[in-house]
Amino acid sequence: MKSAPNAGRNPGSEGVPPSTKAGTPSFPGRRLGRYGFNAFCIAGFVFLLAPILVIVPLSFNAEPYFTFTEGMLRLDPDAWSLRWYDAIVNDEAWSRALINSLLIGIASTVLATTLGTLAALGLASPSMPARNLVTAVLISPMITPIIIVAVGVFFFYSGLGLGQTHAGLILAHAALGAPFVVITVTATLAGFDRTVLRAAASLGAGPLRRFFRVQLPLIAPGVFSGGLFAFAASFDEVVVVLFLGGLEQRTIPRQMWAGIREQISPAILALAVFLIAFAVVVLLTVEWLRNRSASAQRSVH
Amino acid sequence: MKRFRHLAATAPRLGALALVLPLLAFVTVSFLVPLGTLLSKSAWQPEMSRVLPQTMRALAEWDGESLPAEAAFAAIARELPAAREERTLGRVSGAANRVRRGMRGVLNRTARGLDRVEYAGSWRETLTGIHAGWEDAQTWQAIRQAGAPFTLANYLQALDLERREDGSIGRRPEESRVYTPLMWRTLLVSLGVTVLCLAIGYPIAYMVANSPPGRGRLLLVLVLVPFWTSLLVRTTAWIVLLQRQGVINGLLVSLGILPDDARLQMIYNMTGTFVAMTHVLLPFMVLPLYSVMRSIPASHMPAAISLGASPLEAFRRVYLPQTLPGIGAGSLLVFILAIGYYITPALVGGRTGELISSQIAYHVQTSLNWGLAAALSSILLVAVTALYLIYSRVIGIERMRLG
Amino acid sequence: MAAAPLLALHLLAPGGGASAQSITVVSWGGSYARSCQEAYHKAFTEETGIEVLLEDYNGGLAQIRAQVDAGAVHWDVVDMELPDARLACDEGLIELVDLADLPAGVNGESPEADYPAEYVNECGAGMTFYSTVFAYNSNFLTGPGPETVADFFDLEKFPGRRGMRRSPLVNLEFALMADGVPLDQVYRTLDTPEGQDRAFRKLDTIKDQVVWWEAGAQPPQLLADGEVIMSTAYNGRIFNAQVLENQPFVIVWDGQALDTGYLAIVAGTERYEEAMQFVKFANRPGSIANVSKYISYGPVRLSARALVDRHLETGTAMQPHMPTSPDNMKRALSLDWRWWSENRDDMYERFSAWLAR
């Protein structure tokens, strides 16, 4: 339960006049202020979530339109249908795109997670030279404008014969995903108590054994959520695929891009609903991992 | 002994480096080198000197004012048909055309004409017989300029500058400036989006940070849902909401607020870019704010209020200053991401909501002016790098948090 | 299960696009690409066993140039508009096609005799006439509709947004025609700086009302959604929306800009033989005429024109819908590729500058 001082942390506490006890507003202006604040926050949340929520019912539209038809509003069962879901599931192009997305996503994630975790371990070592500079370089793919990355790899990889290959996309996506791993693992390591390692060493554990038996289990949630970030980054990436990928590297976002630019069919909305569900699953997993990692590190103490 | 101590200090350093090195090498090869290749294209264009080497040599001695010597006419009369034969002519005439309009026509017509026309006693007369452009010293200057393997011309163009006839560099006339206004627009839009994100994100972060734990977690998850949802899904969602036959217009019309023929234009213009970009970047503002606000002791504000400060004053004097690191981190991150944004403006921005990145894509894909695309990329990259350095100095990259 | 080793193989082979028994053909997507697929891709595979992989693009040479420069060619055959094909030809990006190698006409005419002289081209095999027209949706534009190019630019008579291709191509010509330049003077006018200024000034008058499209599939969608009240478009796409989706679209043929599609072979492809086989197959009068069973694009080859008959799915007689039918040709402009191949860079640059402002 909440402790007493927390009462003052409620939004709108600035609406509490100094002379009165918390929670008993004295005149309507202040109260109005608090309502206004709450309304503003709620509007903010609506702005964040409404676009995503609106897609869900519209994906069941029986008509090829993007508005709620009168039938839908009357809850007429004929106005609702699964035809766009049928279209997505039965279209070979989408299943091929899914295979490509998974293939490129998983391969680049494995690469990014392995290299990124090693690098984060190195960066966390107190004796790491030029740490800030190296970190800045390793993180830079994340903040470089994606169009520049895409054009750069388009010119360079094409010259190496990696244009229109899965390998080229995997390399590029791994570089884009690695910063996420570095950041999350570094964050986990910041809470990591190095005395545990020394204790293990004093008990006779060698460096490899110390890493695999002691350190890795403790930072595993960080590694795993870093991997999820890297996968999501690849799974959602379209610009590099647009420039570097070809017909046989069409991914889900690439296929969606074509769909949005050429012809918005509600079939895309059905796909979007799948992707939203995917996002929620990943999000809950990451949150669960974060809590686990926090509690694992607490329990060491 | 001394030596041993030195070794003892080096070994862990090497160990740490060895762990970092694989990723460092990987990022260098797969990311930094491609960027370098791109940037080199902005100033390095060897095609012309490769295809017309004799002409370039003959022009090296030329004073640049009168017409060049017969040797130059003879050289180009030899090399142009050869280039046409080898089908490298298009590259050469394209490069020359970038220096001076109409050059593609001069070179292409001359290369074709040399097949048909009789030698007229001198190459100079033969060439001018095919195209009058050869009597103009500026034609030759364009060839010489395009033939220099190192050039700053792309940067001049990207900054809307031009080389005047007297050799000085000055701004282009107002009506032909393209990229500097676009850069300003990109900066202003990024600034606007940052301010909007802050205005919407600050109260949201406050609410999440100051709710009881259970509700706080739920609210945090609600902030994170859009963060994890595919960018293309979110952009599609805005198209669905904002277009003329979309949900919002449909609602307004069916409620009788708008007549059917006066639907609002909210997409494929600046409004579309602003709304969609703010939506996409908002979580990047909320998260750093939230992590700072969470660590501010809840007792500060009531304490200030009980000491006689008005709530607004307490907020301004006590709470706001403590959240400044979060404001800085969130704003810089949003701004950095915004100035390089491509997908969202490209899909919902239309003509007026377009940013600098669209021009880079255009010059790579459509106009094939790769040098200019590279120059624009370099300028954008310099801006982002500068902001990134500020971020790492002021906020610290190690404090970057995800989710 | 069997897919896994196959995918691994793909990964390991750099440049491992199509194998020898398949070629990649790049076309304009949407109903046009589907029509070509039905008209001759399938029959080609049946006859030769060579599989055809279909890729979409929206014109432009960036991909081709990058592939040729890198020596890693993934695209084998590209469906090009003429100005692009000419530029690609000058840059050595596509293989020359010897007219004598192409199949004979219906009655055994030599290929040379089977083409109108102005469409003989060493850069590719001429396939079909298509036209950029403008069209409107009669559901949204009630009352008397627009009839001339000038109406397209008339915001007073027809207020509302218009769709136009994001390219100077055809738009400059439309602007001059709308400004009163006679058809036979359009390119002569465009060849002068004053004429170019005039075209851009005319475009200025509707600039704020234009929605710019890039893919040929977009205009029918824009019209159907009511996002624009009229739009320039490829005539075949509008036709397909009319007959297949019952869209109440009306084509305005006045000032139509006639162009031809070419099949070109990307320079240096390892599958040159197969690509050439494909081009020859596609260029047979029967194959070209087949396209008109699916979309209203007509053969460039003279002997194939009589083969145009009916739309397969709806039975619509196709001759009246061809861009070259006498009724539609009353006021038609042939795109001048010579002018465009010399002025392409300048116009694209000026157009993008104009657009960005």
In chain C, domain spans:
21-129+260-321, 131-258+331-356
When mean pLDDT is compared across A43-52, B53-62, B290-299, the lowest value belongs to B290-299
Q: Give the C-alpha separation, C228 to C251, whole Å.
A: 15
Query: At B67, is the secondary structure helix, strand, or coil?
Result: coil
Q: Give the C-alpha separation, B257 to A186, whole Å.
A: 53
Q: Mark whether B122 and B233 lie in a shared domain.
A: no
Give residue for tokens 């991401």. Answer: B337
With b for 16 or more beta-carbon neighbours within 10 A and e for fewer, the A185-197 pattern comes to bbbbbeebeeebb
- Please give the pLDDT value at position B166: 78
pTM assigned to the model? 0.88
Q: Mark whether B145 and B184 lie in a shared domain.
A: no
Q: Mark whether B204 and B77 lie in a shared domain.
A: no
If you average pLDDT over residues C323-339, what whole number do you get? 93
When mean pLDDT is compared across B303-307, B339-343, C80-84, the lowest value belongs to B303-307
Tell me, what CATH number does B321's domain have? 1.10.3720.10
* Residues of C engaging A, defined by a Cβ cutoff of 8 Å: 3, 7, 10-17, 24, 29-30, 53-56, 66-67, 69-72, 74-75, 214-215, 217-218, 221
* % pLDDT > 90, chain A: 48
When mean pLDDT is compared across A267-276, C170-179, C286-295, the lowest value belongs to A267-276
- Please give the pLDDT value at position A7: 35
- Could you tell me which chain A residue has the CA closest to the CA of C57? A258
Q: Mark whether B208 and B342 lie in a shared domain.
A: yes
Q: In chain A, what residues touch C214 (CB-CB under 8 Å)?
A: 261
- Please give the pLDDT value at position B369: 87
Q: Give the C-alpha separation, B33 to B37, whole Å.
A: 6
Q: In chain C, what residues touch B182 (CB-CB under 8 Å)?
A: 356
Q: In chain C, what residues touch B90 (CB-CB under 8 Å)?
A: 87-93
Chain-chain contact of B105 with C65 (C-beta, under 8 angstroms): no
pLDDT tens, B32-76?
Answer: 999 999 999 999 988 888 999 999 999 988 988 889 999 999 999
Cβ atoms within 10 A of the Cβ of B266, count?
18
- Please give the pLDDT value at position A299: 64
Residue (of C343, C356, C298, C355) closest to C325 by Cα position: C298
- Please give the pLDDT value at position A262: 66
Q: Mark whether B88 and B224 lie in a shared domain.
A: no
In a domain, B78, yes or no: yes
pLDDT tens, C220-257?
Answer: 988 988 889 999 999 999 999 999 888 999 999 999 99
Residues 72-101 of A with CB under 8 A from B: none
Q: Give the C-alpha separation, B108 to C344, whole Å.
A: 13
A272 touches chain B (CB under 8 A): yes
- Give the CATH architecture of domain C131-258+331-356: 3-Layer(aba) Sandwich (3.40)
Pairing of strands C77-81, C249-265: antiparallel
pLDDT bracket for residue B396 (50, 70, 90)? confident
Q: Give the C-alpha separation, B80 to A38, whole Å.
A: 74
Residues 104-163 of A with CB under 8 A from B: 111, 115-116, 118-119, 121-123, 125-129, 132, 134-141, 143-149, 151-157, 159
When mean pLDDT is compared across A273-287, B2-16, B232-246, C159-173, the lowest value belongs to B2-16
Q: Mark whether B147 and B183 lie in a shared domain.
A: no
Pairing of strands C332-334, C210-213: unpaired
Query: At B180, is the secondary structure helix, strand, or coil?
Result: helix
Chains with 3 or more CB pairs closer than 8 angstroms to C? A, B
If you average pLDDT over residues B350-374, what whole number do you get? 89
User: Is the model's pLDDT at C213 over the cut of 80?
Assistant: yes
pLDDT tens, B100-133?
Answer: 888 988 998 899 889 888 888 899 999 999 999 9
If you average pLDDT over residues C204-230, what whole number do you get? 90
- Please give the pLDDT value at position B398: 65
Query: Hey, which residues does C53 pair with through a beta bridge?
Result: C24
If you average pLDDT over residues C118-127, what whole number do you get? 88
Highest mean pLDDT among B30-44, B248-262, C108-122: B30-44
- End-to-end alpha-carbon separation of chain C, Å? 55
**Per this entry, what is the length of chain C?**
357
Q: Mark whether B247 and B294 lie in a shared domain.
A: yes
- Please give the pLDDT value at position A16: 38
* % pLDDT > 70, chain A: 87
Q: Mark whether B205 and B284 lie in a shared domain.
A: yes
- End-to-end alpha-carbon separation of chain B, Å? 49
Cβ atoms within 10 A of the Cβ of C245, count?
12
Q: Mark whether B104 and B197 lie in a shared domain.
A: no
- Please give the pLDDT value at position B214: 87
If you average pLDDT over residues B81-90, what whole number do you get? 87
pLDDT tens, A221-267?
Answer: 889 989 999 999 999 999 999 999 988 899 999 999 888 876 667 78
- Please give the pLDDT value at position B263: 85
Query: At B259, is the secondary structure helix, strand, or coil?
Result: coil
In a domain, B142, yes or no: yes
Domain count for chain B: 2
User: Is the model's pLDDT at C9 over the cut of 50?
Assistant: no
Q: Mark whether B228 and B98 lie in a shared domain.
A: no
If you average pLDDT over residues C146-166, what whole number do you get? 95
User: Is the model's pLDDT at A12 over the cut of 50?
Assistant: no
The tokens describing B322, both together, are: 């403590």
If you average pLDDT over residues B84-93, what whole number do you get? 86
Higher-pLDDT residue of C65 and A234 is A234
Q: In chain C, what residues touch A165 (CB-CB under 8 Å)?
A: 10-11, 13-16
Cβ atoms within 10 A of the Cβ of B163, count?
14
Higher-pLDDT residue of C187 and B366 is C187
Nearest to C56 among A103, A166, A258 (CB): A258
pLDDT bracket for residue A4 (50, 70, 90)? very low
User: Is the model's pLDDT at C317 over the cut of 90?
Assistant: yes
- Please give the pLDDT value at position A98: 95
User: Is the model's pLDDT at A21 over the cut of 50?
Assistant: no
Q: Give the C-alpha separation, A105 to A163, whole Å.
A: 17
Check: CB of residue C267 under 8 Å from CB of residue C95.
yes
The tokens describing A161, both together, are: 């014969």
Check: CB of residue C25 under 8 Å from CB of residue C79.
yes
- Please give the pLDDT value at position B3: 56
What is the rounded average pLDDT for all residues in chain A? 84
- Please give the pLDDT value at position C2: 39
- Please give the pLDDT value at position B268: 86
The tokens describing A288, both together, are: 């669960």
User: Is the model's pLDDT at B254 over the cut of 90?
Assistant: no
Measured between alpha carbons, how far is residue A125 from residues A131, A301, B222 in Å? 9, 21, 36
Residue (of A61, A76, A105) closest to A270 by Cα position: A61
Fold held by C21-129+260-321: D-Maltodextrin-Binding Protein; domain 2 (3.40.190)
pLDDT bracket for residue A8 (50, 70, 90)? very low
Pairing of strands C298-299, C210-213: unpaired
The tokens describing A199, both together, are: 């204790």
In a domain, B209, yes or no: yes
Q: Give the C-alpha separation, C284 to C40, whole Å.
A: 10
pLDDT bracket for residue B86 (50, 70, 90)? confident
pLDDT bracket for residue A6 (50, 70, 90)? very low
- Please give the pLDDT value at position C3: 41
Chain-chain contact of C348 with B105 (C-beta, under 8 angstroms): no
- Please give the pLDDT value at position C308: 93
Q: In chain A, what residues touch B384 (CB-CB under 8 Å)?
A: 143-145
User: Is the model's pLDDT at A181 over the cut of 60?
Assistant: yes
In a domain, B6, yes or no: no
User: Is the model's pLDDT at A1 over the cut of 70?
Assistant: no
If you average pLDDT over residues A75-91, what whole number do you get? 89
User: Is the model's pLDDT at A131 over the cut of 70?
Assistant: yes
In a domain, B172, yes or no: no
When mean pLDDT is compared across B344-348, B384-388, C1-5, C291-295, the lowest value belongs to C1-5
Write out the residue range of the structural domain in which residue B309 sits.
Answer: 179-399
Measured between alpha carbons, how far is residue A97 from residues A93, A250, A275, B237 in Å? 6, 5, 13, 21
Check: CB of residue C219 under 8 Å from CB of residue C31.
no
Check: CB of residue C256 under 8 Å from CB of residue C234.
no
Higher-pLDDT residue of A2 and A57 is A57
Measured between alpha carbons, how far is residue C85 from residues B251, C62, C64, C344 in Å? 48, 13, 11, 12
Q: Which of A153, A262, A264 to mutate to test the interface with C (most CBs of C within 10 A)?
A: A262
Q: In chain C, what residues touch B91 (CB-CB under 8 Å)?
A: 91
User: Is the model's pLDDT at A9 over the cut of 60?
Assistant: no
Chain-chain contact of C211 with B86 (C-beta, under 8 angstroms): no
Q: What is the 3-state secondary structure (H, E, C) of chain C?
A: CCHHHHHHHHHHCCCCCCCCCEEEEEECCHHHHHHHHHHHHHHHHHHHCCEEEEEECCCCCHHHHHHHHHCCCCCCEEEEEHHHHHHHHHCCCECCCCHHHCCCCCCCCCCCCCCCHHHCCCCCEEEEEEEEEEEEECCCCCCCCCCCHHHHCCCCCCCCCEEEECCCCCHHHHHHHHCCCCHHHHHHHHCCHHHHHHHHHHHHCCHHHEEEECCCCHHHHHHHHCCCCEEEEEHHHHHHHHHHHCCCEEEEEEEEEEEEEEEEEECCCCCHHHHHHHHHHHCCHHHHHHHCCCCCCEECCHHHHHHCCECCCCCCECHHHCCCCCCCCCCEEECCHHHHHHHHHHHHHHHHHHHHC
If you average pLDDT over residues C96-102, what whole number do you get? 91
Q: Give the C-alpha separation, C58 to A258, whole Å.
A: 11
Domain boundary among the residues B114, B136, B151 is at B151
Establish whether domains C21-129+260-321 and C131-258+331-356 are of one fold.
Answer: yes
User: Is the model's pLDDT at A162 over the cut of 60?
Assistant: yes
Torsion angle defined by CA atoms of residues A55, A59, A60 and A63, in that order, rounded to the nearest 10 degrees:
110
Q: Give the C-alpha separation, B73 to A174, whole Å.
A: 53
User: Is the model's pLDDT at B2 over the cut of 70?
Assistant: no
Q: In chain B, what residues touch C68 (CB-CB under 8 Å)?
A: none
Q: Mark whether B128 and B240 lie in a shared domain.
A: no
- Please give the pLDDT value at position A187: 86
**Per this entry, what is the length of chain A?**
301
Domains of chain A: 93-300 (1.10.3720.10)
Chain-chain contact of A143 with B206 (C-beta, under 8 angstroms): no
Higher-pLDDT residue of A91 and B189 is B189
* Helical residues (DSSP H) of A60-145, grouped into ranges: 70-73, 83-90, 92-124, 131-143
Please report the ipTM that was assigned to this predicted complex.
0.89
Residue (of B111, B105, B108, B103) closest to B146 by Cα position: B103
Query: Hey, which residues does C164 pair with through a beta bridge?
Result: C212
Residue (of A222, A224, A219, A225) closest to A196 by Cα position: A219
pLDDT bracket for residue B143 (50, 70, 90)? very high
If you average pLDDT over residues C188-205, what whole number do you get? 96
In a domain, B161, yes or no: no
Q: State the nearest Cα–Cα gap between A257 and chain B, in angstroms.
A: 7
Q: In chain C, what residues touch B245 (CB-CB under 8 Å)?
A: 225-227
Residue type for position C142:
T
- Please give the pLDDT value at position B8: 57
Q: Mark whether B236 and B98 lie in a shared domain.
A: no
Query: At B171, is the secondary structure helix, strand, or coil?
Result: strand
